[in-house]
Structure 1
Amino acid sequence: MSVEHLSGYQARDYAVVDYKMYQDQDTGLSFRGPEPVVEGGNYVTCLGAAQTFGCFCERPFPAILQDRFGIPFVNFGYGGAGPAFFLRHPELIDFANRGRAVILQVMSGRSESNSVYDSGGLEYITRRADGQKLSAQQAWADLLAQEPPPAFLPPPAGKALRMFVGPPHVREILAETRANWIANNRELMDRLTVPVVFFYFSRRAPDLHKTGKFAWWWQRYDSENAMFGDYPQLVNQAMIDATARKAQDYVHCHSRRGSPQPLIDRFTGGPARIDNSADRKDLSVETYSENDYYPSPEMHEDAADLLEPVLRRKLEWRISSGVPQAMAS
């Protein structure tokens, strides 16, 4: 039985939301609760990362859809997960295949392995050369630092070259990482025998990169954050085009409604103070009272509104075989 937690978010976010975490008996992994009660195959499985999990959100899109359809939408959102994480846990795939459909989130590319780093499908990765574990952000920052701008160029020209062209080795590893992401998503879809809805959920369009207040349409290399872009980091339209055709449907939710989200302490009614180090000891102490990264509650409503009609078309043929009539409303 495998127990491996990058982040369960409960310790960090408890002042805002109680995620009612439970431990899955087949894998030993902890997921957001309440623990689902399923009867036969009458459920939908949601595979994804923190955006599916629903950080700082009382009712993420799986819970909203569960209310609308009247059947369980099992939330297997896992902090920092990429497609390779679910390939490593065939019990979750087997569970999904006993259900009616799967919502598969478009997950981050920074959770993917390459020839330099082994991720295990999570964002907390291992450097192959020395076995050191570090966050993906630190790992890619180190990789960029190994190739400084050419010394023979004046600083402005060197900075421009780095920003627009990038270090050759970093470009090579980035291409490898993206290819692995595509391959693992395609393999995961091959292993899923029920209808799959591939779901893009972000504050940015797939080809729009964003860090802070600035957005751009080209790949940048001047820092790891600029290279990543907003969630899902490293993922662009070409990667989605190469992957989505394997799914039965593709749903795109690009929204910023309600973001940034003020975080309210549910015990005091005042602003919450969130500390990342309470959940990730590798992260520095940094407190904040506003969620400007994860989807807001309003964005989860937008997600459910877009997913609902697609899922109704997928599930309506099941009505004659005993699915609750609410599914046909």
Structure 2
Amino acid sequence: MAFEYPGDGALDYFPCRYGKSKLLFRGPRRRLDVPFVSAIGGSETYGKFVETSWPELVEQKIGMQVVNFGYLNAGIDVFLHEPQMTEILQKSHVSVIQLMGAQNMSNRFYAVHPRRNDRFLRASNLMRAVFNDVDFTEFNFTRHMLTALQRRAPDRFDSLAQELQMAWVSRMNKLLDRIPGRKVLLSLHDYGDPAQNDPLGPEPLMVTKDMLDQVRARADVVVEIEPSMQARRSGTEGMHFAAMEEPAALTMPGPQVHDEIAEALAPVLAKMI
């Protein structure tokens, strides 16, 4: 895997752990005995394929250490089921929580890997009853599975989407309740090339304004970011990846998007610290 064994053109992310957590975060490892801001989220916060992620850019702007707790391919489940995170975040001055998509969570229809939340493990009896004409052994990833189901059975897909959205609201509220101290919600809207339309909708996947409204009261501030067209059209410009990773890099926010996230967050955090 590129983040563990960088090849030609790939970055070394210096993966590290904190406390007794089993989760590998982006390094180098930072000190937690000095004032710091926590950045919690998925691959977009981790900064996959990007040399300088938005947490590092924010740190440069506010003058306080920002610890990157972004986790590759994470959904809410990764952080909700990691008991060490609450203890680690007790010392955080402010926590910035990226809103992650609703697709990468275990739910009444299917189960995902406990740490690699984008990995589809198995369909439930309910899923097999609703989609009784689908062979689920052909799927390894949640996005691939959901895209296929939406195309094959759009009428039945709605019940699955509603389950994911209800589960997201419930779990996001639980996660925010467990994160101590002051909190900023980061809602990063679609950052991909506008010419490439995702049939499942914009990022964060399946998260609507109404869903955000149902969780915003548990945070001090909500920062919504609409990346510029210039940033969205920049493709892989300025990104670092091995030769075989270009398709994956095209699905990740590039340096310009990270710059725009930092520009939006820095003044908010500066007032809070």
Do 2:104 and 2:118's aligned partners in 1 also have CA atoms closer than 8 Å? yes
Percent identity for Structure 1 against Structure 2: 21
Q: State the 1:143 CA deviation.
A: 3.4
- Distance (whole Å) between structure 1 residues aligned to residue 269 and residue 184 of structure 2: 8
User: For 1:84, which of 77, 80, 84 is the aligned residue?
Assistant: 77
Residue correspondences, number: 257
Do 1:49 and 1:81's aligned partners in 2 also have CA atoms closer than 8 Å? yes
Structure 2 counterpart of 1:124, which letter?
R
Q: State the 1:244 CA deviation.
A: 1.8
Consecutive unaligned residues of structure 2, counting only runs of 5 or more, are 126-135
Do 1:211 and 1:229's aligned partners in 2 also have CA atoms closer than 8 Å? no
Structure 1 counterpart of 2:123, which letter?
R
Q: Which residue of the partner structure matches residue 176 of structure 2?
A: 189
Q: State the 1:199 CA deviation.
A: 0.2
User: For 1:114, which of 107, 111, 117 is the aligned residue?
Assistant: 107
- Distance (whole Å) between structure 2 residues aligned to residue 65 and residue 98 of structure 1: 19
Instruction: Report matched runs for 1:1-329 at 5 Å.
Output: 9-11=3-5, 15-40=9-34, 42-119=35-112, 120=114, 122-129=117-124, 134-144=140-150, 147=153, 166-167=154-155, 169-203=156-190, 213=195, 225-226=198-199, 228-256=200-228, 257-258=230-231, 259-262=234-237, 273-276=242-245, 287-288=246-247, 291-315=249-273
- Distance (whole Å) between structure 1 residues aligned to residue 181 and residue 81 of structure 2: 19
Q: State the 1:214 CA deviation.
A: 6.3
Deviations 1:278-313 (A, max 9, x none): xxxxxxxxx55x943222212211111111111122
- Distance (whole Å) between structure 1 residues aligned to residue 189 and residue 8 of structure 2: 24
1 or 2 for the larger relative contact order (CA 8 Å, sep ≥6)?
2
Q: State the 1:203 CA deviation.
A: 3.2
Consecutive unaligned residues of structure 1, counting only runs of 5 or more, are 1-6, 148-165, 205-209, 216-224, 266-271, 277-286, 316-329
- Distance (whole Å) between structure 2 residues aligned to residue 26 and residue 14 of structure 1: 32
- Distance (whole Å) between structure 2 residues aligned to residue 236 and residue 81 of structure 1: 19
Structure 1 counterpart of 2:121, which letter?
T
Q: 1:171 to 1:56 in 2, by over 3 A?
A: same
Do 1:8 and 1:79's aligned partners in 2 also have CA atoms closer than 8 Å? no
Structure 2 counterpart of 1:314, which letter?
M
Structure 2 counterpart of 1:213, which letter?
A
- Distance (whole Å) between structure 2 residues aligned to residue 26 and residue 13 of structure 1: 29
- Distance (whole Å) between structure 2 residues aligned to residue 230 and residue 10 of structure 1: 29
Q: 1:77 to 1:125 in 2, by over 3 A?
A: same
Alignment partner of 2:214: what SS? helix
Say what the alpha-carbon RMSD is for the aligned residues. 2.7
Q: 1:67 to 1:180 in 2, by over 3 A?
A: same
Between 1:132-141 and 1:303-312, the stretch displaced more is 132-141
- Distance (whole Å) between structure 2 residues aligned to residue 8 and residue 28 of structure 1: 19
Q: 1:8 to 1:129 in 2, by over 3 A?
A: farther
- Distance (whole Å) between structure 1 residues aligned to residue 214 and residue 93 of structure 2: 25
Alignment partner of 2:252: what SS? coil
- Distance (whole Å) between structure 2 residues aligned to residue 300 and residue 34 of structure 1: 19
TM-score by length of 1: 0.70
Structure 2 counterpart of 1:32, which letter?
R
Q: State the 1:8 CA deviation.
A: 6.9
Q: 1:202 to 1:295 in 2, by over 3 A?
A: farther
Between 1:231-240 and 1:121-130, the stretch displaced more is 121-130
Deviations 1:259-292 (A, max 9, x none): 2132566xxxxxx65324xxxxxxxxxx55x943
Q: State the 1:139 CA deviation.
A: 2.3
Q: Which residue of the partner structure matches residue 132 of structure 2?
A: none
Structure 2 counterpart of 1:274, which letter?
A
- Distance (whole Å) between structure 1 residues aligned to residue 101 and residue 58 of structure 2: 23
Do 1:86 and 1:93's aligned partners in 2 also have CA atoms closer than 8 Å? no
Q: Which residue of the partner structure matches residue 129 of structure 2?
A: none
Structure 2 counterpart of 1:308, which letter?
A
Looking at CA atoms only, which structure, 1 or 2, has the larger radius of gyration?
1
Structure 1 counterpart of 2:146, which letter?
W
